[in-house]
Amino acid sequence: TETLYNTGAVCTLRISEHAYTGGAHANFRQRLVSFDVATGQLLGVDDLTRDPDELARMATLRLRADHDLEPDSDLAAAGFWIPEGGLERPDNIGVVGGGLLIHWDPYEIAPYSMGPIDVVIPIDDLRSISDRRDW
C-alpha cells in the first residue's frame, strides 16, 4: 500500500497485489481508495461526482487522447475491449493532484499485452460534475 495523494482533507491510497499461480505470466491488481481524512468516509464515484455517466464519457475521451485515437475511432480496432458507446461507470478511482485517476488492471478493458491503463481527468474538467473543492 502506498499513499498517492494527501492534502490533509482527502487521501488516496494505492493497494497493489501481485501473484503468480502458474501460466504465462503473473497477475497483478491495483485498487485505488480515497477517503475524507476528517471523517474517514470512503469516497466512491457517487461521492466525487454528481454524474458518473458523464465521468465515463470524459474517461473515454481521455483514453482516446492518451492513445492518440480520433474521437470517433473504433476502440475495438485499437485493441480495447470497450463497448461501442464507450467506457462504463468507473469504480476504481482515486483523487490525485490535479484530478481524478481512473485505473484498469490488465484484462479489464484490454489484453494483458497493453498492461494496466490509467487516465487522469483534470480537476478543471470535473468542476461541472463535482461539488468537491478540497482536492
| pLDDT-based confidence at residue 74 (cuts at 50, 70, 90) | very high
The full DSSP string for the chain is -EEEEE-SSEEEEEEEEEE--SSSS-EEEEEEEEEETTT--B--HHHH-S-HHHHHHHHHHHHHHHTT--TTS-TTTTT----TT-PPPP-SEEEETTEEEEEE-TTTSS-GGG--EEEEEEHHHHTTT------
| pLDDT-based confidence at residue 133 (cuts at 50, 70, 90) | confident
pLDDT higher than threshold 90 for residue 132: no
Task: Give the model's pLDDT for residue 24.
Answer: 87
- The pTM score is 0.94
Cell of residue 16, nine digits: 497493489
Task: Give the model's pLDDT for residue 54.
Answer: 97
Residue among 51, 55, 50, 11 nearest 33 (CA) = 11
Task: Give the model's pLDDT for residue 23.
Answer: 87
pLDDT one-digit tens code per residue, 24-70: 888 899 999 999 999 999 999 999 999 999 999 999 999 999 999 99
pLDDT one-digit tens code per residue, 94-114: 999 989 999 999 999 999 999
Task: Give the model's pLDDT for residue 62.
Answer: 97
Which backbone phi and psi does 65 adopt, to 5 degrees? -65, -45
pLDDT one-digit tens code per residue, 83-94: 888 999 999 999
Task: Give the model's pLDDT for residue 126.
Answer: 95
